[in-house]
Amino acid sequence: GEKVMYPQFGLGTITDVIEKEVDDTSLSFYRLEFEVNQIEILVPVSRAVENGLRKVMGRKDIDKLISYITSDIPPPKPQQWHRWRKRTLEQLKSGDPLEIATIYRYLASLEGQKGLSFTERKILHQVERMLIAEISVAKSISEEKAEALITPTRHDLANGNGKRAAS
């Protein structure tokens, strides 16, 4: 029943720990369910951390993350598409919340400057959903309230302002 974050899938729930035979060896697996994607995956317990499985951030860390997302720090400069895509996939695979927030800030600013390609919009939506889900669980608030904490930033960045609107 514990809520966890898993790279590229976002917020999931550990529903079970099961034993499976793999190459004549009994291995333990976490069974993770992802409500948003309506999928279930198995993650080897022995490689969970290596695969990026982690607990949801605590309130203090979430507050720092929100501060980073809503800060006046300008997003990174645009890169060549193939380099950006490769780097972004690495950042997503890492599952690091700061890396995910960096992707979010970059795409939100790019959205206002030139618009986004289909792939960029898809990634923006994915990272936004991941951030909202984690903020919601960590702060014990609704996803709507969590979204309100970061979406003013998205609209400000899209409009060329590096700053969050006063709330």
Q: Check residue 164 and give its pLDDT.
A: 42
φ/ψ of residue 132, rounded to 5:
-60, -45
Helix intervals (H) in 35-117: 59-69, 81-94, 97-113
Q: Check residue 17 and give its pLDDT.
A: 95
Distances (CA, A) of 126 to 45, 121, 123, 133: 26, 9, 5, 11
3-state secondary structure 101-124: HHHHHHHHHHHHHCCCCHHHHHHH
Q: Check residue 151 and give its pLDDT.
A: 81
Q: Check residue 160 and give its pLDDT.
A: 58
Q: Check residue 165 and give its pLDDT.
A: 39
Global pTM value? 0.79
Q: Check residue 159 and give its pLDDT.
A: 61
Q: Check residue 6 and give its pLDDT.
A: 92
Residues in a beta bridge with 141: none
Q: Which residues of the chain have pLDDT under 70?
A: 74-78, 152-167
Q: Check residue 158 and give its pLDDT.
A: 57
